[in-house]
């Protein structure tokens, strides 16, 4: 083989293979989602809670006469919710579906109840607890929790006592409402998300907070920190797959990588491509890259842009590999662009959250 003649082509081919390998590794990472299972009586609000957690209508909510009969699987970018059909006591536990149920595939269970905890809930919890899985008890429909003769705190204390007498004193209970007559922050949703995150194995916690809709500014900051850690993971994965230090060989491949990175950042903040578009001359180029424009011009433009940045105040932000003169679309610039996009998405999400809090919710 004449390596002199084929050198250039072979190198480009290698880069392609490295990029493909990296994208596969990133996809595998993304495929490994958190699995959360919700169970409870028909109409307790399992599907409604999934919608609150995801921050959008992803699960079908039942009308009074129509309850879910099949398990609903709701797949989000970081989390898969399995919304079990509400069971009634008569059919349970004889129901073959529930006796064949294997809890081991789930990271977390939510037992959703609206009145009292039923015998069937306790039985199903027993089945889960025996396998060592963790379950959070969610007392939903708290908007209806009212008794003129006693305070809300006292009512909650009684519910807690009742649950503990049935399933043991160590189980955690949170109080929620899905009725959108008040801001989510006053309906127990931030508390629910925090409790869920804390019950997940540490390695999965970050991912959960990245997914869960932020209802408070504090939650948005947690999201931002998590998106930054995720960007670092992306970089580590890139390095492990041989993408470091310099890509810059094929703008189409660069664009694929950048596009994947941008999408995952947007997903973390629950924004879409139209809402947070990169702006300004730098981002015009980034945008072209992200859109998959091919050709030398784009990579050259980016090189110019980064070189210009490197001589300005932003220089510190770019860990230049090999000096500005040879700087192409390298891992450092990828990191820099990722940070910039996290910033933009965070600022947008913060403004939107403030507006939501002010206006009440849709
Ligand atoms: N007032 C009030 N209504 C709620 C609340 N949560 C859910 N609902 C309503 O209760 C009904 C049932 O809600 P779903 O979320 O479908 O309940 P589910 O547990 O998924 O029901 P199945 O799938 O049939 O088992 C719907 O009409 C919801 O709008 C709540 O916190 N307060
Ligand atoms: Mg349902």
What confidence score (pLDDT) does residue 13 get?
Answer: 60
Q: With beta carbons less than 8 A apart as the criterion, state whether 39 and 84 touch.
A: yes
**Which of the pair, 212 or 277, is modelled with greater confidence?**
212
pLDDT digits (tens, 9 = 90+) for 84-134: 876 664 555 556 666 677 889 999 999 999 999 998 899 889 989 999 999
User: What are the domain boundaries of the chain?
Assistant: 33-213, 220-359
What confidence score (pLDDT) does residue 95 get?
Answer: 60
Q: How confident is the model at residue 230 (pLDDT cuts 50, 70, 90)?
A: confident
Cβ 143 under 6 angstroms from ligand 1: yes
Query: Angle at Cα 272 formed by Cα 267 and Cα 342, nearest 5°?
Result: 55
What's the mean pLDDT in 310-334? 42
Residue 248 predicted with pLDDT over 60: no
**Which of the pair, 207 or 324, is modelled with greater confidence?**
207
Average pLDDT, the chain: 77
> Which residue has its alpha carbon closest to ligand 1 atom 27?
63
| Closest among 210, 184, 225, 163 to 29, alpha carbons compared | 210
**Which of the pair, 180 or 281, is modelled with greater confidence?**
180
What's the mean pLDDT in 43-63? 90
Q: Picking from 47-56, 146-155, 182-191, 314-323, which range would have the lowest pLDDT averaged per residue?
A: 314-323
Instruction: Identify which of 126-130, 307-311, 312-316, 337-341 has the greatest average pLDDT.
Output: 126-130
Mutate which of 43, 72, 111, 145 for ligand 1 pocket (most atoms within 8 A of beta carbon): 43
Cβ 86 under 6 angstroms from ligand 1: yes
| Closest among 116, 122, 55, 23 to 267, alpha carbons compared | 55
Sign, CA torsion 247/251/253/259: positive
CA-only gyration radius of the chain, Å: 25
CA–centroid distance, 138 to ligand 1, in Å, is 13
Cβ 48 under 6 angstroms from ligand 1: yes
Mutate which of 53, 57, 61, 71 for ligand 1 pocket (most atoms within 8 A of beta carbon): 61
What confidence score (pLDDT) does residue 346 get?
Answer: 94
- Sequence-distant (6+) residues with CB within 8 A of 255 are 289, 290, 291, 292, 293, 294, 298
First vs last C-alpha separation in the chain = 66
Query: Angle at Cα 76 formed by Cα 75 and Cα 82, nearest 5°?
Result: 40
Tokens for 88, please give them.
Answer: 């009634």
Is the pTM higher than 0.85? The answer reads no
Cβ 180 under 6 angstroms from ligand 1: no
Mutate which of 36, 39, 62, 74 for ligand 1 pocket (most atoms within 8 A of beta carbon): 62
User: Within a 13 Å sphere around the CA of 216, how many CA atoms are in the beta-carbon half?
Assistant: 14
CA–centroid distance, 36 to ligand 2, in Å, is 14
Q: Which fold has domain 33-213?
A: Rossmann fold (3.40.50)
- Sequence-distant (6+) residues with CB within 8 A of 58 are 50, 51, 74, 76, 81
> Which residue has its alpha carbon closest to ligand 1 atom 11?
43
Cβ 41 under 6 angstroms from ligand 1: no
Q: How far apart are CA 98 and CA 102, in angstroms?
A: 9
Q: How confident is the model at residue 148 (pLDDT cuts 50, 70, 90)?
A: very high
Residue 322 predicted with pLDDT over 90: no
Q: How many CB atoms lie within 10 A of CB 113?
A: 22
**Which of the pair, 246 or 104, is modelled with greater confidence?**
104
Atom number, ligand 1, closest to the C-alpha of residue 50: 15
Q: Picking from 75-89, 139-153, 267-281, 325-339, which range would have the lowest pLDDT averaged per residue?
A: 325-339
Sign, CA torsion 304/283/266/349: positive
**Which of the pair, 123 or 297, is modelled with greater confidence?**
123
CA–centroid distance, 332 to ligand 2, in Å, is 46
> Which residue has its alpha carbon closest to ligand 1 atom 9?
45
pLDDT digits (tens, 9 = 90+) for 17-35: 777 888 888 888 888 899 9
What confidence score (pLDDT) does residue 96 get?
Answer: 61
Sign, CA torsion 278/283/286/291: positive
Ligand showing the shortest atom-to-Cα distance for residue 42 = 1
What's the mean pLDDT in 295-318? 41
Mutate which of 121, 178, 361 for ligand 1 pocket (most atoms within 8 A of beta carbon): 178
Pair type for strands 173-175 and 79-83:
unpaired
CA–centroid distance, 81 to ligand 2, in Å, is 11
Cβ 141 under 6 angstroms from ligand 1: yes
120 by Cβ neighbours in 10 Å (0-12 / 13-18 / 19+) ranks as buried
Q: Picking from 65-79, 126-140, 188-202, 309-323, which range would have the lowest pLDDT averaged per residue?
A: 309-323
Q: With beta carbons less than 8 A apart as the criterion, state whether 110 and 146 touch.
A: no
What confidence score (pLDDT) does residue 22 get?
Answer: 81
């Amino acid at each position: 083989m004449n390596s002199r003649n084929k050198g250039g082509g072979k190198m480009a081919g290698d880069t392609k293979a490295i990029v493909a390998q990296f994208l596969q590794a990133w996809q595998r990472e993304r495929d490994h989602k958190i699995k959360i299972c919700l169970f409870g009586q028909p109409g307790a609000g399992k599907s409604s809670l999934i919608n609150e957690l995801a921050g959008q209508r992803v699960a079908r909510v039942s009308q009074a006469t129509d309850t879910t009969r099949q398990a609903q699987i709701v797949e989000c970018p970081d989390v898969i919710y399995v919304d079990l059909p509400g069971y009634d006591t008569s059919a349970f536990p004889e129901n073959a579906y529930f006796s064949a149920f294997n809890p081991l595939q789930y990271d977390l269970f939510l037992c959703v109840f609206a009145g009292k905890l039923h015998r069937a809930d306790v039985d199903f919890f027993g089945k889960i607890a025996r396998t060592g899985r963790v379950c959070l008890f969610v007392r939903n429909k708290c908007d209806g929790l009212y008794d003129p003769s006693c305070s809300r705190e006292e009512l909650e204390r009684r519910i807690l006592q009742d649950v503990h007498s049935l399933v043991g004193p160590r189980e955690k209970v949170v109080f929620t409402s899905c009725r959108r007559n008040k801001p989510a922050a006053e309906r127990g949703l931030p508390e629910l998300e925090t409790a869920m995150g804390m019950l997940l194995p540490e390695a999965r916690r970050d991912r959960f907070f990245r997914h869960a809709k932020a209802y408070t500014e504090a939650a948005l900051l947690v999201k931002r920190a998590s998106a930054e850690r995720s960007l670092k993971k992306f970089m580590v994965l890139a390095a492990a797959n041989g993408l470091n230090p310099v890509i810059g060989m094929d703008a189409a491949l660069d664009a694929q990588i950048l596009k994947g990175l941008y999408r995952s950042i947007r997903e973390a903040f629950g924004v879409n491509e139209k809402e947070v578009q990169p702006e300004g001359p730098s981002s015009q180029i980034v945008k072209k890259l992200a859109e998959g424009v091919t050709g030398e011009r784009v990579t050259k433009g980016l090189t110019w842009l980064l070189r210009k940045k490197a001589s300005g105040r932003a220089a510190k932000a770019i860990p230049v590999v090999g000096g500005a003169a040879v700087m192409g679309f390298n891992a450092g610039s990828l990191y820099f662009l990722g940070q910039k996009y996290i910033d933009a998405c965070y600022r947008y999400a913060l403004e939107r959250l403030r507006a939501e809090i002010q206006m009440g919710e849709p």
